[in-house]
Amino acid sequence: GENVEQHPSTLSVQEGDSAVIKCTYSDSASNYFPWYKQELGKGPQLIIDIRSNVGEKKDQRIAVTLNKTAKHFSLHITETQPEDSAVYFCAASDSGGYQKVTFGTGTKLQVIP
Amino acid sequence: DVKVTQSSRYLVKRTGEKVFLECVQDMDHENMFWYRQDPGLGLRLIYFSYDVKMKEKGDIPEGYSVSREKKERFSLILESASTNQTSMYLCASRLLREKSYEQYFGPGTRLTVT
């Protein structure tokens, strides 16, 4: 089955700096890669996603890049703000009928004011 | 807005008890999921349901069962709770449209088995 590895497990940045979280996946058939943000006491919420036919996607201060050859994808957050502090999960979804999603182990991001 | 609700935020049960965790979604989504979240292990899929009365095992189904008799409700059952099932349990739902595979999560149930 699919295996998703995520690094780092914790990340501290100064407000205004950039943050990068990296993930690798094992199944070359995976074709959908979402990122979820989990704030304290809440369930994860989708913040951005990318499909295998696209190399990069941006949404304001958030961007995701995908390298299918190397089987890795990354989340980039620019101009970080205290409200970006949360746990971030990457995930990969296979192309099978059930579109099963496998999550990474999570990155706890702390933005220091 | 999609709303996914879980029956309890916190639950304390004794070893050997039968435990029911309930999840309800209000957006007519076909797919529903149960995950457990543990520090350092991320979200691990226990079971999912593609549609009413359908269920598929996830990555860690041992010790759990599920029930989906109605489209909006997906129940996770711990037949005989054990201390290693102490965890945060998250329910999610998904509408499988061509351009979106977004999962909508509930707030979670923190289960403690003593």
Query: Does A44 contact B44 at a Cβ distance shorter than 8 Å?
Result: no
Query: Does A49 contact B44 at a Cβ distance shorter than 8 Å?
Result: no
Average pLDDT of chain B is 93
* Residue range B63-90, pLDDT digits in tens: 999 999 999 999 999 999 999 999 999 9
Residue B76: per-residue pLDDT: 98
Query: Does A89 contact B43 at a Cβ distance shorter than 8 Å?
Result: yes
* Residue range A54-74, pLDDT digits in tens: 889 999 999 999 999 999 999
pLDDT of residue A39 exceeding 80: yes
B76/B63 Cα distance (integer angstroms) = 11
List the structure tokens of B34. Answer: 């149960």
A52 vs B: CB within 8 A: no
pLDDT of residue A94 exceeding 90: no
Reduced to 3 states (helix: H, G, I; strand: E, B; else coil), residue B33 is strand
B60 vs A: CB within 8 A: no
Q: What's the number of CA atoms in the CB half-sphere (13 Å) around residue B77?
A: 7
Left if phi > 0, otherwise alpha if psi is -120 to 50, otherwise beta: which for B30? alpha
B2 vs A: CB within 8 A: no
pLDDT digit string (tens) for chain B, length 114 residues: 768 999 999 999 999 999 999 999 998 888 999 999 999 999 999 999 988 889 999 999 999 999 999 999 999 999 999 999 999 999 999 987 666 788 999 999 999 999
Nearest to A98 among B4, B40, B56 (CB): B56
pLDDT-derived band at A95, boundaries 50, 70, 90: low
B102 vs A: CB within 8 A: yes
